[in-house]
Homo-oligomer: A and B are copies of this chain.
Amino acid sequence: MALIVHKYGGTSVGSPERIQNVAEKVIQFRERGDDVVVVVSAMSGETNRLIALASQLQDKPDPREMDVLISTGEQVTIALLCMALKQRGQDARSYTGTQVHIRTDSAHGKARILEIDEAKMRADLQLGRVVVVAGFQGADEEGNITTLGRGGSDTTAVALAAALKADECQIYTDVDGVYTTDPRVVPEARKLDRITFEEMLELASLGSKVLQIRSVEFAGKYNVPLRVLSSFEEYSDSAGTLITYEEDGMEDALISGIAFNRDEAKLTIAGVPDQPGVAARILGPVGDANIEVDMIVQNISPDGSTTDFTFTVHRNDYTKTLELLSGIAYELGAREVNGDEKIVKISLVGVGMRSHAGIASTMFKTLASEGINIRMISTSEIKVSVVVDEKYLELAVRALHAAFGLEQKP
C-alpha cells in the first residue's frame, strides 16, 4: 500500500470518454490498495479557448483577471473526474488550488508555490476518498487566484507529492516515457526505464519536452520519485521512465540520451580588443533586453590582442540581438558582427560521463567521420554540447546514437 500522486495532462482528460479512462486507471490503483491523489489539467483546447475570449476584450489581458479566467479550466476537470469516479462507486472529492491552500507568491501567470496545507487531503484519504486537485493554480496571501504558468500542473503534482511525502509522483502524458533521443529522428531510439534528476534536467532544458523543468527541479529538491508514463497504456511496475537519484542497480550507461534543439541561433562579435570586463560589456545589454543566452564561447586571437566572442540565443531573439550587437561592436571597437540562424545544438547527456573519459573525443570523431563540421563546443560535468549546421541534424544524431550503442540496454 502506497500513496501515489497521479497527474493527467490536457490530452489525457480531453473528452468525457478520456476522463472515464482516467477514472478507470485511478480505480486500478485503489484496488491495489494504494491511496491516490490526482492532479489534472484543463481539457485540451480549453485554455486556448479562454485565452481567445480574453484577447477579444483587452489588448493585453490583465494578469490578475487572466488567472481568474483560465483557472476555471482545471476546475471543470476536477468536478468531472470526481463525477466519473463516483459513478463507479469510488468516493472522491475535488479541490481548487484555493480550497486546498496552495499558497503562492503574487506573480500572476508564473507564480511559485510557497506552501501547501495537506490536512484536508489527508483527512479525505483516510476516509477512503480519492482526492482530485486542480493543477496549475493556487492563491496568494490575499486570496487572489494565481496560476503557475503553462505546464504548471506538473509542478502542482510534485509539490503535492512532496507535501504528502508520497511514494511516487506519476505524470501521465501521451508519450510512454523518456527516450534516448527523439524517435522521429532515430527510429531505433529506446525508452529509458530509469534516469537521474540531473540527466532529466539536462534533457528537458535541451528540448525533450516531456516534463516541465521546474517540476523536475522540485522533485529533485524534495527527492520525490517521478515517473513519466502514458495514460493510454496499461500500468505495470516497469511502465514509463522513473526519474530518481542515482543509486545502485541503475543502468550502468555512459550516456543516457541525446537531446537537440532547433530553436537556437548563433552570434559572433569578432576582433574585440581584449580587455578585462569585455564579456560583461557584451552580455550586459543582452540580458537587460530580456534575451536569454545559452552557450558562450570565447577565443583569444593568436597574438593575444583581440578576442572573438560567440554565443547562442533563442531563434526568436536573433534579429533583436544582432541589432543590439552592432551597437556594442561600435562602442567596443570590434572588427565585425556576424550570426547564423541555421544551426542546431546537439547534446550528449549522462551521469556516466563523470567517471569515464573519452566521451567527448568519441563524439568529435564520430561527427568528423561523417564530415560534419563542429561550430561550437561546450561541456559540463554530465553533458557535451556541440553546435553544427542545421542540415546535419538527423545525420549527426543518428551517427551518435549508433556510436554510443543507445539502441541497446547497457
Interface set of A (CB-CB < 8 Å, partner B): 16, 19-20, 50, 53-54, 56-59, 61-62, 64-66, 68-69, 71-72, 75-76, 78-80, 82-84, 86-87, 93-94, 96, 98-99, 143-145
With A16-B57, A57-B19 as known contacts, state yes or no: A96 contacts B80, CB within 8 Å.
Answer: no
A selection of 15 A-B contacts at a CB cut-off of 8 Å is A19-B57, A54-B79, A57-B84, A58-B83, A59-B87, A64-B94, A66-B83, A68-B75, A68-B78, A68-B94, A69-B75, A69-B76, A72-B76, A99-B144, A99-B145
Q: Which residues of B contact A143 (CB under 8 A)?
A: 99
Q: Which residues of B contact A84 (CB under 8 A)?
A: 57-58
Q: Which residues of B contact A20 (CB under 8 A)?
A: 57
For A81, the closest partner residue in chain B by CB is B57
Cα A59 to Cα B59 in complex, Å, equals 42
Cα A69 to Cα B176 in complex, Å, equals 31
The answer to whether A86 touches B68 (Cβ under 8 A) is no
Q: Which residues of B contact A72 (CB under 8 A)?
A: 72, 75-76
The answer to whether A79 touches B86 (Cβ under 8 A) is no
Q: Which residues of B contact A93 (CB under 8 A)?
A: 64
Cα A267 to Cα B90 in complex, Å, equals 45
With A75-B72, A87-B59, A98-B98 as known contacts, state yes or no: A82 contacts B65, CB within 8 Å.
Answer: yes
Q: Which of A57, A66, A94 has the most CB of B within 10 A?
A: A57
The answer to whether B57 touches A87 (Cβ under 8 A) is yes
Tell me the smallest distance from the CB of A56 to a CB of chain B, in Å: 4
Tell me the smallest distance from the CB of A104 to a CB of chain B, in Å: 15
Q: 3 closest A-B pairs (Cβ-Cβ)?
A: A69-B79, A58-B83, A72-B72
For A68, the closest partner residue in chain B by CB is B79
Q: Which residues of B contact A56 (CB under 8 A)?
A: 16
The answer to whether B96 touches A83 (Cβ under 8 A) is no
Cα A407 to Cα B145 in complex, Å, equals 52
Out of B50, B64, B71, B79, name the residue touching A65 (CB < 8 Å): B79
Cα A59 to Cα B66 in complex, Å, equals 33
With A75-B68, A75-B72 as known contacts, state yes or no: A82 contacts B53, CB within 8 Å.
Answer: no
Out of B53, B64, B80, name the residue touching A80 (CB < 8 Å): B53
Q: Which residues of B contact A83 (CB under 8 A)?
A: 54, 57-58, 61-62, 65-66, 69
The answer to whether A66 touches B79 (Cβ under 8 A) is yes
Tell me the smallest distance from the CB of A120 to a CB of chain B, in Å: 9
Q: Which residues of B contact A58 (CB under 8 A)?
A: 83-84, 86-87
Cα A87 to Cα B66 in complex, Å, equals 13
For A132, the closest partner residue in chain B by CB is B65
The answer to whether A68 touches B96 (Cβ under 8 A) is yes
Q: Which residues of B contact A98 (CB under 8 A)?
A: 98-99
Cα A216 to Cα B231 in complex, Å, equals 51
The answer to whether A62 touches B82 (Cβ under 8 A) is yes
Apart from A65-B79, A68-B96, list 11 A-B contacts with CB within 8 A: A19-B57, A53-B76, A54-B79, A57-B84, A58-B84, A62-B82, A65-B80, A68-B82, A68-B94, A69-B83, A99-B144
Cα A83 to Cα B56 in complex, Å, equals 9
Tell me the smallest distance from the CB of A134 to a CB of chain B, in Å: 9
Tell me the smallest distance from the CB of A70 to a CB of chain B, in Å: 8
The answer to whether A53 touches B16 (Cβ under 8 A) is yes
For A62, the closest partner residue in chain B by CB is B86
Q: Which of A50, A69, A71, A87 has the most CB of B within 10 A?
A: A69
Tell me the smallest distance from the CB of A375 to a CB of chain B, in Å: 46
Q: Which residues of B contact A62 (CB under 8 A)?
A: 82-83, 86
Q: Which residues of B contact A145 (CB under 8 A)?
A: 96, 99
Q: Which residues of B contact A64 (CB under 8 A)?
A: 93-94
